[in-house]
Amino acid sequence: MTGDRFLLIREIGAGLWNELHHVLVQLLVAEILQRIPVVYWGKESLYSPADDVNAFEEFFMPVSEYGINDLANDEFSFYPERWNSGNILTVPGHSGDFVYTAVEQLKECTADVIVSDSYTDVERIIPSIPEDHRLYGMNRRDLLYRLICRYIRLKEDILKAIDDFYDKNMKGTPLLAVHIRSSDKIVEVKHLHELNELYPREIEKVLKANPGMRIFLMTDCIEILEEYRKRYGRHLIYTECRRVPRDGMGVHFQEYKDNRIKGLEIIMDSWLAAKCDYFIGNGYSNVSLGICELKNWEKDRIRLLY
């Protein structure tokens, strides 16, 4: 491993698509810095089934041929200095004392391992993409789509579960995917209930132009599911997953006997939505943004509400 330098991407203790966006941005940073990426979601991950498990690899294939144990090398130097070979497995990510370090500054870092455990928006990284880089000049969605295609590979058992549900419940009919957030999203989006009232009108526009289309509904809200079941009846498709009351605590903060199930539920819904023909979602939601980035949608087939 002499001469190799790494970027270790730790968990940030957030919802699954927020975590994935953190990973994608740091994978871009790793490419710019020409460092080998390693993803490790440790004990602070909301999706970790146990403290000593890499939760990322419960769902996805590794992003490189190296793992966390390869970095636990006493000969390696680390940045920031609070990290070392003895604590990268035991200290939680998301320290709370993160100070943004520009990519241009990180280029001068001589540490063997740079550890990233706090979210940075891709817009702060885009200006540092070199002109000869494959992603130079791309907009946010196209850039993240290409990073997903390159790095985010689902485990075989998850792919099979997605395909099995699709073949049994969705195959052979045109589909509109709809993602409606509720619960704790009201804290971030004060007009959330008013925004959610816009969905039926937008849905009707798509259905009117596409007779026979069915709706694949993703929602974290018990009441919204019931409302849409009454409205659309047999034309509605949805997975069986944990949901909460309209003003309840977010599903990703709920206690599960197995936190892997929590991750599987959102992954199933997201990848199934990307199999659909049209998508309507919440422009403030990482899940909706993630679905837009999972597939090279035609521009007139996705609609984000604000």
Domains of the chain, each with CATH number or no CATH? 6-151 (3.40.50), 156-305 (3.40.50.11350)
**DSSP3 helix / strand / coil % (the chain, rounded to 5):** 40, 15, 45
Phi and psi at residue 243, to the nearest 5°: -135, 160
What is the pLDDT at residue 1?
40
What are the φ and ψ backbone dihedral angles of 47, each rounded to 5 degrees?
Answer: -115, 10
- The parts of the chain modelled with pLDDT lower than 50 are 1-2
What pLDDT sits at residue 257?
86
**Torsion angle, CA of 117/186/290/279, rounded to 10 degrees?**
180
C-alpha distances in Å from residue 125, one per residue of 26, 31, 104, 185, 244? 9, 11, 10, 27, 36
Q: What is the pTM of this model?
A: 0.95
> Looking at residue 90, what is its pLDDT?
84
pLDDT for the residue 274: 98
Residue 184 pLDDT: 80
